[in-house]
Structure 1
């Protein structure tokens, strides 16, 4: 997956998706199944790095991430 941000416009490119969106229409979320940040674009969930999530929010995306905590006793968190 490729993500490029230029002048508050986000360009998402995958094998099956090529989208250009204003940053203020994007929401960064937490995928609790994978504990990763993600965005939903054109009905597809795209996982992104924390650096990409930060860059998106700086560009104007909504920060909708939740911070997850491990509940297992042997967790390193």
Structure 2
């Protein structure tokens, strides 16, 4: 898991170490090209699971995710 949450504080494991943010200062977004949820930290996009995204929203993060829909008839979504 790349995210740890304690007392409305988020700890993100990144390539350059650990980034710490207050959960209400974090915005969860959808990367439509990768069909994944992510957060942007200092210009670096950190991809997270849907379970991590849900846990962040419960802790107070802003949920800006969008639902993606299939545009091809043989798509699995």
Q: TM-score, structure 2 length as denominator?
A: 0.93
Q: Supply the distance in 2 between the matched residues of 1:2 and 1:69 (Cα, whole angstroms).
A: 26
Residue ranges of structure 1 left out of the alignment (5+ in a row): none
Q: TM-score, structure 1 length as denominator?
A: 0.93
Residue ranges of structure 2 left out of the alignment (5+ in a row): none
- Moved >4 Å (runs of 4+): none
Q: Supply the distance in 2 between the matched residues of 1:24 and 1:42 (Cα, whole angstroms).
A: 16
Aligned residues: 77
Aligned-pair RMSD on alpha carbons?
1.1
